[in-house]
Homo-oligomer: A and B are copies of this chain.
Amino acid sequence: MTYITCGSRLELGCGMDHVLETSSPYETAAECNETGATVTLHIAGRAGTPIRLTKFLAYHYGTEDSGKSNAVGTSLDQAVARGFTALLAEQEENVAQFWASADVELEGDPATQQVIRWNNFQLMQASARVHGHGIGARGLTGRSYEGHYFWDTEIYVLPFLTYTAPDAARAVLKFRYDMLPQARARAVELGHRGATFPWRTINGNEASAYYAAGTAQYHINADIAYALNKYVEISGDNEFLSRYGAEILVETARFWLDLGFFSNRRKGKFCINGVTGPDEYNAVVDNNYFTNLMAQENLRLAAKVVGALDPDARARLVSRTGLEPDEVVAWTEAADRMYLPYDARLDVHPQDDSFLDKELWDFESTPEENYPLLLHYHPLNLYRAQIIKQADTLLAMFLMNGHFSADEKKRNFDYYDPITTHDSSLSVCIQSIIASEIGYSAKAIDYFNFAAAMDLSDIGGNVKHGAHVASIGGTWMALIYGFAGLRDGGGKISFRPRLPRDWDRLRFPLMIRGRRIRVSIDHEETVYRLEVGDAIEIMHEGERLRLRPHAPEARRPTTRSQPVAKPGPGAVDPAIPDDTA
């Protein structure tokens, strides 16, 4: 059977085959019409004589007339030829491989262990067949968001894939690369140079209906650039960079240069107006801090990668993009002169030009049942107030971690955390990571638990529409970047473990440039073990460690396990020194 969707013209082919094993006589009849297919078996069964029916199913999909759905027959033939037992063994092997490189073990809290395993299983399911496909916002678990892909994949799911299944991470990024033609066309359509990726899509075309929280979220371009750079740094897959990544970087850098401008009124700084950041309670704003910072990184990465390409790769890139040398100069200038708002009175980075001048939200008069606010208030009321749906400036501070001191993070956390509703599932995981770093232990574990249990405990009451795949990826991040304190800027791996007091041990593997290391953290020591691959250098609490095969390195914490700190100015645990990771 082949189906075609009305709007996006995607073709789904599905087929079924049967192997019947019986010594009883039987007849088969098959019928296929426009709405379904039926296979009828009449078996004259005899008592005591076994009947075994094995059903084989195959699905393929692709764009209309791509011919992909024709592969269903071949796949079925191959499956039948191999037989169920062989297929089962292959699946068992695949799953075992997944857990070997992805399992996060948690001792001392079996309920949370169960949640983490369930979550990671969802990630496996969602990413197992990403070659040529994206990861929908609900994976394969539900119809919410109609299977569309967002920035969630790059910012929330890719870290997990990069560190546990680099091939899958590559496939996701390759899929984005394959959408580059539509992204170029979209830029032209919007009157811009370069390429701009759709905010939500299933086939590369923009599918969002509300531009203020859709197309205006141009930051997705910088998110993709960031994620592909992270993937290359951690996997060492420079071939992907020169073959695909560089082209994405060039086209997105072009887009940013075109979208913004050098403002005379801001002393020649590069300003980007009329954008929406990750926080959808403040839409179509000027100089969103997150967007400007990430665009700066996008421009810098593009300039750096173009400069580092070998002559052949560079020639290929120039022929594919028409790149001119002065473009790279302009990107660097825009990056160097990027306007990054700072408010001296509050000593924080304003989320955007107007954010701090908005009225404070009246939380006291907001009943519990009015959350999430977007379902109960007109967007104008939300846009008019200092109210945040999800981590925005703080997400920038996590992603571009090395740009900020812990003190800066703390000041901004103290300002933004109380006005953030976490009405998006993408928020608490990030908040947990920053809270871990700045020593707000209680807040870190609270936010982690909220993120981890979102689906199994059905916190939002909406898991019937599907699992929150990005939040699950974020939960993994809260474990690894938060409690284990992983930092990986520039591909340099460091840890600063901060194990929650109620847990006994956290143990997880990471794939880094072909190695697999396993980190085991308890309250007495952290042990780093190189399980696969050659020696590699990492940092632990600022100390350089060289990991060699089969020679685990154990280190005792420099600070003792943390008492629970309440967040808020002055409430920081004084035992945790201010420090950047």
Chain A residues in contact with chain B, CB under 8 A?
A: 190-191, 211-212, 215-216, 261, 263, 265-266, 271, 273-274, 283-284, 286, 345, 353-354, 356-359, 377-381, 383-384
Q: Which of B212, B266, B345, B380 contacts A215 (CB 8 A)?
A: B380
Which of A212, A266, A356: most chain B Cβ within 10 A?
Answer: A212
State the CA gap A211–B190 with chains docked (Å): 22
Q: Which of B212, B353, B357, B358 contacts A357 (CB 8 A)?
A: B353
Chain B residue numbers with a CB within 8 Å of A359 are 261, 263, 271, 273
Given contacts A190-B381, A215-B380, A381-B190, contact A357 B271 (CB under 8 A): yes
State the CA gap A294–B58 with chains docked (Å): 67
CB of B274 within 8 A of CB of A383, answer yes
Q: Which of B271, B273, B353, B384 contacts A274 (CB 8 A)?
A: B384
Measured CB to CB, the closest approach of chain B to A493, in angstroms, equals: 40
State the CA gap A353–B357 with chains docked (Å): 10
Chain B residue numbers with a CB within 8 Å of A191 are 377-378, 381
Chain B residue numbers with a CB within 8 Å of A378 are 190-191, 211, 215
CB of B353 within 8 A of CB of A354, answer yes
Measured CB to CB, the closest approach of chain B to A283, in angstroms, equals: 8
Ordered by A's residue number, 26 sampled pairs between the chains whose C-beta atoms are within 8 Å are: A190-B378, A191-B378, A191-B381, A211-B380, A212-B212, A215-B378, A215-B380, A216-B380, A261-B359, A263-B359, A265-B345, A271-B359, A273-B354, A273-B357, A273-B358, A273-B359, A274-B380, A274-B381, A274-B383, A274-B384, A283-B284, A284-B284, A284-B383, A286-B354, A286-B358, A353-B357
Chain B residue numbers with a CB within 8 Å of A284 are 283-284, 380, 383
CB of B273 within 8 A of CB of A211, answer no
Chain B residue numbers with a CB within 8 Å of A261 are 359
Measured CB to CB, the closest approach of chain B to A270, in angstroms, equals: 11
CB of A357 within 8 A of CB of B266, answer yes
Chain B residue numbers with a CB within 8 Å of A384 are 273-274
Measured CB to CB, the closest approach of chain B to A341, in angstroms, equals: 12
Q: Chain B: which residue is nearest A286 at the CB level? A: B354
CB of A263 within 8 A of CB of B357, answer yes
Chain B residue numbers with a CB within 8 Å of A283 are 284
Chain B residue numbers with a CB within 8 Å of A345 are 265
Q: Chain B: which residue is nearest A192 at the CB level? A: B381
State the CA gap A303–B163 with chains docked (Å): 66
Q: Chain B: which residue is nearest A354 at the CB level? A: B286
Contacts A263-B357, A273-B354, A284-B380 known; list 13 others, CB within 8 Å: A191-B381, A211-B380, A215-B378, A263-B359, A265-B356, A265-B357, A271-B357, A271-B359, A283-B284, A284-B383, A286-B354, A286-B358, A353-B354
Chain B residue numbers with a CB within 8 Å of A286 are 354, 357-358
State the CA gap A265–B353 with chains docked (Å): 13
Given contacts A286-B354, A286-B357, A359-B261, contact A379 B211 (CB under 8 A): yes
Q: Chain B: which residue is nearest A190 at the CB level? A: B378
State the CA gap A384–B358 with chains docked (Å): 20
State the CA gap A228–B301 with chains docked (Å): 60
Q: Chain B: which residue is nearest A345 at the CB level? A: B265
Measured CB to CB, the closest approach of chain B to A337, in angstroms, equals: 15
State the CA gap A271–B360 with chains docked (Å): 13
Chain B residue numbers with a CB within 8 Å of A190 are 378, 380-381
Measured CB to CB, the closest approach of chain B to A237, in angstroms, equals: 35
Q: Chain B: which residue is nearest A343 at the CB level? A: B265
State the CA gap A274–B378 with chains docked (Å): 11
State the CA gap A399–B256 with chains docked (Å): 41
State the CA gap A384–B273 with chains docked (Å): 6
State the CA gap A438–B339 with chains docked (Å): 39
State the CA gap A212–B377 with chains docked (Å): 15
Measured CB to CB, the closest approach of chain B to A292, in angstroms, equals: 14
Chain B residue numbers with a CB within 8 Å of A383 are 274, 284
State the CA gap A212–B210 with chains docked (Å): 12
Closest 3 CB pairs of A and B: A274-B384, A261-B359, A273-B384
Chain B residue numbers with a CB within 8 Å of A358 are 273, 286
State the CA gap A97–B271 with chains docked (Å): 60
State the CA gap A142–B119 with chains docked (Å): 60
Q: Chain B: which residue is nearest A260 at the CB level? A: B359
Chain B residue numbers with a CB within 8 Å of A380 are 190, 211, 215-216, 274, 284
State the CA gap A315–B191 with chains docked (Å): 60
Measured CB to CB, the closest approach of chain B to A351, in angstroms, equals: 14
State the CA gap A271–B359 with chains docked (Å): 9
State the CA gap A266–B358 with chains docked (Å): 11
State the CA gap A377–B380 with chains docked (Å): 23
State the CA gap A215–B379 with chains docked (Å): 11
State the CA gap A216–B383 with chains docked (Å): 11
State the CA gap A215–B377 with chains docked (Å): 14
Chain B residue numbers with a CB within 8 Å of A215 are 378, 380
State the CA gap A357–B270 with chains docked (Å): 12
Q: Chain B: which residue is nearest A215 at the CB level? A: B380
Q: Chain B: which residue is nearest A360 at the CB level? A: B261
Chain B residue numbers with a CB within 8 Å of A216 are 380
Which of A190, A353, A356, A357: most chain B Cβ within 10 A?
Answer: A357
Q: Chain B: which residue is nearest A378 at the CB level? A: B190
State the CA gap A356–B266 with chains docked (Å): 11
CB of B357 within 8 A of CB of A354, answer no
State the CA gap A271–B379 with chains docked (Å): 19
